[in-house]
Amino acid sequence: MTASLSVQEKLSRLGICTELDLILHLPIRYEDETHLFPISDAPAGQIVQVEGVIVHNEVVMRPKRQLVCQIEDSSGMLIMRFLNFYGSQIKTYAVGKRVRLLGEIRHGFFGAEMVHPKCRIVQAGESLADTMTPIYPTTAGLAQKILAKLIRQVLQSTQNAHYLVETLPQAMIQHYRLTGFRDSVMCLHNPPPDVSLEALQTRSHPAWRRIKFDELLAQQLSMRLHYRQRRSHAAPVLACKHLLTEKFLRQLAFTLTDAQIKVSAEISHDLATPYPMQRLLQGDVGSGKTIVAALAALQAIENGHQAALMAPTEILAEQHYQKLSSWLDPLGIRVAWLSGSQKKKQKQATLDDIASGNAHLAVGTHALFQEHVVFHQLGLAIIDEQHRFGVHQRLALRMKGALSNTVPHQLMMSATPIPRTLSMSYYADLDVSIIDELPPGRAPIVTKLIADNRRDEIIERIKHACHQNKQVYWVCPLIEESETLQLQTAMETHDNLSRIFPDLSVGLVHGRLSTQEKTAVMTAFKQGEIQLLVATTVIEVGVDVPNASLMVIENAERMGLSQLHQLRGRVGRGSQASICILMFQQPLSDIARKRLKIIFEHTDGFEIARQDLQLRGPGEFLGARQSGMPMLRFADLEQDGELLTAAQTAVDKMLNNHPDLAQRHIQRWLGQKIEYLRV
Ligand code: ADP
Ligand code: MG
């Protein structure tokens, strides 16, 4: 590139490092300077261009200094108003000068006017722009004009023609009625005057359609390749023998829901194939994913393999350990427990058990995938609350089987439901199972929004609930800047509530407690010895104490939707009617108000996720960390569902019949941007 260094730095801030990046840096909007409207005919409420002669010019104080000019053409008159202006502009816009204005006309008290239009001096008869004016996303200090010029140069240079070659097979172009790549790019950078501005702005124009299709196709192609690559590895065949699984189900106090049966069958089928399963099990909080995980583990174990279950927090891992031991001990299954904070000797004993195969199922936190953990024969890795882990961590656990030339099957579980369009795109390389019903007999949770100046009311409710032998969570506010501060708040809250409720047993759990201390508190709560549990957000995921039926969340306005939904899911797990009180502090920001409204109105996790996605957009919703895929820049999953489906349908044909084009297509769109090997 011929740009100077500083321009290059600015470009790189926009993610532009190569000529191709410039070519694919498409406008965010357009201005139409190809037409002139007579002043009296110019439609209101849209950006228009008019031209006229300045007939009057004055600075008025109304109440602040304003520059007001009257402009006249043969059809009528218009007022141009600048609320901020330089002294030099008074001279520039002198009476008698001819100006071209681009802006929106409003009809005010003084007639038609434009406030702060784009304005430039012209000569009579000066020619109009022959294409729409593209407006590019840019960054501070990089002028629109410079960026536009750089892009124009790259597009005009014949040396760059190869960037614009077609990557789609002709048949596909015809079948989906797409425009050519080169034409589309050219059109979007320099739209001819007869193009509908609206179609450009709303990105419904065929040229946009093509670009969006390409982008979605590249994503689908790379995911599909990854899927195939994974299938090329061998995994242990873990046949469904109905030995341990049957025994387990027979001793269970309840029967599985239809949804649990359905997803278990899908998982069971995958485990019996010689390729590594990569399945995402989605189910709302409380839908009963743990049992499904246990069944999968048993299928591995009844085939002589080990299983591992990894959870994101120690509290949750510990709880899984307790629950799974109680379920599996009677079957003669040995469950091992590994955590980062274990004593050295204890840890070594566990590691030995895992390495010798003495332990059938290993449960733990991220400590499980550290290097020194060696499995005897890992057949299945289960990751609970997978959205809490980064891609690297998931990959590390998968590699644990590499010793034996096979890759373990992988089951990922998540209670953060991913809306369908998102899972079709960002998770296209995973198979998805969904638990779409809750176990029977759950009373619905009632959500209440209460401003924190009504604390007394809440205290009364707690008293009442505890006297009826119910158990209560009190969740302390999230303080993002400081864990210490959060801890301090939790301790103060604990002190206060202990003072207010001298006859109740009030417990406290937070992230800084040792494993033993956490376990002791959670066990006491589970056994009903603690009635009111003050907690930080460490209890957010997974914790299961069915007798708890009242939850108070302080400063709920600071929390995200999925976090609120998860927290609320800690109650409503038994047959009692549960209440979740969201306390908030006023004034509420606009976004906080929207979030609280959504969580108040909905309990269905999928619906909450869908609205969350709309509120935040996919980038924030997923977090790049967790998807490992670059975000879509042009396609909009809500709007472009039809294109997504088309891209998905086209993928296999393209890979099978035109592998070289497919490679070129991925290269163009994703290039170096796939940061991780997808796991
Ligand atoms: P999650 O999907 O949130 O991980 P859990 O696996 O913790 O849910 O299950 C929530 C609660 O529901 C647990 O107490 C569990 O034992 C219970 N449960 C799970 N499946 C059923 C079922 N089919 N019938 C009744 N209770 C169930
Ligand atoms: Mg769970």
**CA 321 to ligand 2 centroid distance, Å:** 12
The mean pLDDT of 491-499, rounded to a whole number, is 94
Per-residue pLDDT of 256-266, as tens digits, reads: 999 999 999 99
**CA 278 to ligand 1 centroid distance, Å:** 23
**CA 435 to ligand 2 centroid distance, Å:** 12
pLDDT of residue 78: 95
Query: How close are the terminal C-alpha atoms of the chain, in Å?
Result: 36
What whole-number distance in Å separates Cα of residue 511 and Cα of residue 410? 28
pTM exceeds cut of 0.85? no
**CA 605 to ligand 1 centroid distance, Å:** 16
**CA 676 to ligand 2 centroid distance, Å:** 27
Helical pair 258-271 and 289-301, crossing angle rounded to 10 deg: 30
Mutate to test the pocket of ligand 1, among 254, 387, 433, 445 (most ligand atoms within 8 A of CB): 254
**CA 602 to ligand 1 centroid distance, Å:** 21
Domain 445-602 in CATH 3.20.20.140: no
Mean pLDDT of the chain: 88
Look up residue 45 and give its DSSP letter: T
Per-residue pLDDT of 197-224, as tens digits, reads: 889 999 999 999 999 999 999 989 988 8
pLDDT of residue 625: 45
Mutate to test the pocket of ligand 1, among 256, 281, 291 (most ligand atoms within 8 A of CB): 291
Q: Are strands 471-475 and 548-553 parallel, antiparallel or unpaired?
A: parallel
Q: Is 555 helix (H, G, I), strand (E, B) or coil?
A: coil
Report whether residue 565 contacts ligand 1, using a CB cutoff of 6 Å.
no
Ligand 1 atom at shortest distance from the alpha carbon of 255: 23
CATH of domain 244-435: 3.40.50.300
Going by alpha carbons, the residue nearest to atom 17 of ligand 1 is: 288
Report whether residue 119 contacts ligand 1, using a CB cutoff of 6 Å.
no
Q: Which of 345, 388, 333 is nearest to 365 (CA)?
A: 388
244-435 and 445-602 agree in CATH topology: yes
Q: Which of these CATH numbers, 3.40.50.720, 3.40.50.300, 2.40.50.140, 1.10.12.10, describes 35-128? A: 2.40.50.140
The mean pLDDT of 612-622, rounded to a whole number, is 78
**CA 508 to ligand 1 centroid distance, Å:** 25
Q: Which of 537, 478, 550 is nearest to 510 (CA)?
A: 537
**CA 454 to ligand 2 centroid distance, Å:** 33
Report whether residue 568 contacts ligand 1, using a CB cutoff of 6 Å.
no
Give percent of the chain with pLDDT exceeding 70: 94
Q: Which residues lie across from 278 on neighbouring strands?
A: 410
Of 350-359, 403-412, 569-578, 634-643, which range is least confident? 403-412
pLDDT of residue 2: 45
What whole-number distance in Å separates Cα of residue 585 and Cα of residue 473? 19
Per-residue pLDDT band for 624 (boundaries 50, 70, 90) equals: very low
Go through the chain and tell me how many residues it has.
679
Give percent of the chain with pLDDT exceeding 90: 58
Could you tell me the sign of the dihedral formed by the alpha carbons of 495, 499, 501, 506, in that order? positive
Ligand 1 atom at shortest distance from the alpha carbon of 285: 3
Side chain identity, residue 375? F
Delimit the domains of the chain by residue range. 5-29+134-202, 35-128, 244-435, 445-602
Residue 654 near residue 3, CB atoms below 8 Å: no
Residue 369 near residue 396, CB atoms below 8 Å: yes
The mean pLDDT of 333-348, rounded to a whole number, is 90
Closest-lying ligand to the alpha carbon of 286?
Answer: 1
Cβ neighbours of residue 194 under 8 Å, at least 6 residues apart? none
Per-residue pLDDT of 353-368, as tens digits, reads: 999 999 999 999 888 8
Mutate to test the pocket of ligand 1, among 256, 319, 544, 576 (most ligand atoms within 8 A of CB): 544
pLDDT of residue 418: 75
Report whether residue 256 contacts ligand 1, using a CB cutoff of 6 Å.
yes
pLDDT at 424 over 80: no
**CA 435 to ligand 1 centroid distance, Å:** 11
What whole-number distance in Å separates Cα of residue 474 and Cα of residue 552? 5
Report whether residue 249 contacts ligand 1, using a CB cutoff of 6 Å.
no
Per-residue pLDDT of 561-577, as tens digits, reads: 988 998 998 898 888 88
Extract the tokens encoding 218.
């590249």
Q: How far out from the chain centre does Cα 393 lie? A: 18
Closest-lying ligand to the alpha carbon of 309?
Answer: 2
What whole-number distance in Å separates Cα of residue 320 and Cα of residue 312? 11
pLDDT at 678 over 70: no
What whole-number distance in Å separates Cα of residue 193 and Cα of residue 196? 8
Extract the tokens encoding 434.
């969904």
Going by alpha carbons, the residue nearest to atom 9 of ligand 1 is: 288
| 668 backbone dihedrals φ, ψ, rounded to 5° | -60, -45
The edge-to-edge listing of strands for the beta sheet with 335-338 is: 335-338, 361-364, 306-310, 378-383, 409-414, 278-283, 431-435
Q: Is 238 helix (H, G, I), strand (E, B) or coil?
A: coil
Residue 31 near residue 132, CB atoms below 8 Å: yes
